[in-house]
Amino acid sequence: MPYVKVNGIRLHYEERGQGDPFVWVAGTGIGGGVWDVWQTPHFEKRYRCVTFDLRGAGKSDSPETGYSVGTFAEDVVGLVEHLDLPPAHFAGVSLGSAIIQELALGWPELVRSATLISTWSSTAREHHIRRWFEARLLTLRSEAPIEVFRAFSFWMSGHTVIDLEPDVQAQVEACFAANSSAQPLHAYIGHFDADMGHDTTDRLEGIACPTLVVYGDEDLITLPRYNETVAAAIPGARRRVIPKAGHFMWVERGAELNEAIDEFLRDVESAEQRS
């Protein structure tokens, strides 16, 4: 089981496939295995896919302190340097997308392209998502049973999936259950504290790498307009909307997401060859 010591902690990571590196960054409280339902089985055919557990998730260490988007980004830098990766493609969902924003701003030489899935730019200014994080933190800090905490997760699915596609919703819930809630309570709180502190709105214009912003049209967490704000602020960013999908879009509509990323990467690589 591969681990790397970075930034004072041990990170658990996995590699699949060969080719140019493609690093996948998971979201709040979930391990890197969430990408193994749809994404890594597809992209490992052409890329060296690297998945990992954020600090405070999965098999990685869960320190008592040190949870912020900036610290998570520093952890990823340590992992990339350990693996001696050339500039890599990155994809991240929710908190993972916030981490990639910080990577692209602070370490642009490491980021070949950025796919931001279910993203946002400022918890302080985007009040709907702020109140979601506050509600989740209240549940955690009240030490409610984990079943109560998980009951809130239905908000992350698209209403079309919940009402009309029970088999898809069952797959979403199985993925979430298998890859979350394994960490201690303080680590889960730390992840949401990091979400609360995310704010890149005034800096997004500094992201220079090719960027794709992709989101579900039924996302009730990172609302569609939050994603559109990010896409509008990053020079040249592409925007792709996945119909009938919520915040868990990468599991709900995995094939559609893969198609969007494939198209984006083909164009990125074609542009590189022409330059």
pLDDT band for 197, please (50, 70, 90 cuts): very high
**49-70, pLDDT tens digit by residue?**
999 999 999 999 999 999 999 9
Mean pLDDT, rounded, for 154-175: 90
**118-155, pLDDT tens digit by residue?**
999 999 999 999 999 999 898 888 866 666 656 667 78
pLDDT for position 145: 62
Provide the Cα torsion 24, 92, 265, 202; round to 10°. -140
The single-letter code of the amino acid at 106 is G
Residue entry with tokens 């990170």: 11
Of the ranges 158-162, 173-177, 237-241, which one carries the lowest mean pLDDT score? 173-177
Closest CA to 120 of 195, 9, 15: 195
pLDDT for position 146: 62
Question: pTM of the full predicted structure?
Answer: 0.96
pLDDT band for 181, please (50, 70, 90 cuts): low
In this predicted structure, the answer to whether residue 40 has a pLDDT above a threshold of 70 is yes
pLDDT for position 155: 81
Residue entry with tokens 């879009």: 249
Identify any residues that bridge with 14 across adjacent strands, giving them in sequence order: 51
Q: Could you tell me what percent of the chain has a pLDDT over 70?
A: 95
pLDDT for position 144: 64
The single-letter code of the amino acid at 228 is E
Mean pLDDT, rounded, for 19-41: 96
Identify any residues that bridge with 11 across adjacent strands, giving them in sequence order: 4
pLDDT for position 177: 80
Mean pLDDT, rounded, for 66-86: 97
Closest CA to 111 of 142, 83, 85, 74: 85
